[in-house]
Amino acid sequence: MTEKKFKGIFAAAVTPLKSDLTPDIDSFPEFLSFLAQRGCHGALILGTTGEGPSFSFEERKIIYQAANNVRQIHPSFQLLAGTGTPSLQDTINFTRLAFDLGLDGVVVLPPYYYKNVTDEGLFSWFSNVIEKSVPQDGTLFGYHIPQISNIPLSIELLKRLKDNYPIQFGGIKNSSSDPTHVLKLGDSFGDELSIFTGNDRLFSKSLDVGASGCITSLANLISPDLRVVWDAHQCGESKPAVQKRIDLTRIIFDRYPPAAPVLKSILSRCYGFPKWAVRQPLLPISKDIEEQVITDLRLEC
């Protein structure tokens, strides 16, 4: 088994936006550097937390270019792009753009408009994306988030993609909250695919069954704790007290969905970043909610 290309702590990064809702490209490299300094091995750009579906082709282009600037300071920092849309051609175009601009890989939602689609249809869709936009040495991850997409990526579909595209299909981001699914993925693939958990509460459990790391929204804030758990696991150790602290933080954040407005408020209030806007239909949180989150988390801001 070759060394896995991607592993570790990845933040599902928020996207800095100015008050006029245009990308704040000057702030983005600084923010990604902040994540790197706090233990992240990389970041997912324009995923769910990054409000990815809200951005056009041209906006994505300047965001990807701005993100790449982080490597002037942190050359090993890895960048993944969220490129999945309900449109096959848009997904191909976004995916090709990400690789053309030098990003390291892509995380692709299934086409989430039509429900109850078959594995055969999904395999055909992902095959088109891979064959038409992923370089021979490129990596595509599927995005399993059925609570949002209503389109699960079955074990059988993942096996078929792995068998047909053993280099280009790297694995999945598993954002299911089902611990039994974590075990099924571990039993089914072991080291054959890279599995990244998207649920902080399942991080230690996922690592125990062979996961490659995590890609989570909370890594925008608590990457130091996630890194402690990751580093300990690399030494064959566990950090249950730290995992419990991570669990409690996730429980609190789950009270205030969606994540992007809350994260942007806390990043501004506690770490000095600009008060980045969010795009409609998302709305900024109120001052009262901000105070309540800070109180719940016992932050000293």
pLDDT digit string (tens) for 125-153? Answer: 999 999 999 999 999 999 999 998 999 99
Active-site residue among 64, 95, 143, 216? Answer: 143
pLDDT exceeds 90 at position 187: yes
CA atoms within 13 Å, Cβ hemisphere of 43? 32
Active-site residue among 83, 91, 173, 249? Answer: 173
Q: Is the peptide bond before 281 cis (omega within 30 degrees of 0)?
A: yes
Active-site residue among 22, 113, 275, 287? Answer: 113
pLDDT at position 5, please? 86
Within-domain flag for 250: no
Residue 189's CATH number: 3.20.20.70
Nearest to 282 by CA among 296, 262, 266, 297: 262
Q: Give me the domain span that covers residue 63.
A: 8-234
What number is the average pLDDT over the span 145-166?
95
pLDDT exceeds 60 at position 2: no
pTM (predicted TM-score) = 0.96
Within-domain flag for 2: no
pLDDT exceeds 90 at position 23: yes
Active site residue 143: yes
What number is the average pLDDT over the span 113-131?
96
The confidence band for 158, taking pLDDT boundaries of 50, 70 and 90, is very high
Angle value at C-alpha 91, between 279 and 149, nearest 5 degrees: 65
Provide the number of structural domains found in the chain: 1
The confidence band for 300, taking pLDDT boundaries of 50, 70 and 90, is confident
pLDDT exceeds 80 at position 96: yes
Active site residue 275: no
Within-domain flag for 83: yes
Within-domain flag for 283: no
Within-domain flag for 265: no
The answer to whether the beta carbons of residues 173 and 151 sit under 8 Å apart is no
Within-domain flag for 300: no
pLDDT digit string (tens) for 222-234? Answer: 999 999 999 999 9
* Residue 82: how many other CB atoms lie within 10 Å: 29
Within-domain flag for 123: yes
pLDDT at position 299, please? 87
What number is the average pLDDT over the span 24-39?
97
pLDDT digit string (tens) for 242-270? Answer: 999 999 999 999 999 999 999 999 999 99
Nearest to 264 by CA among 9, 10, 15, 39: 15
Active site residue 173: yes
Within-domain flag for 248: no
What number is the average pLDDT over the span 205-224?
97
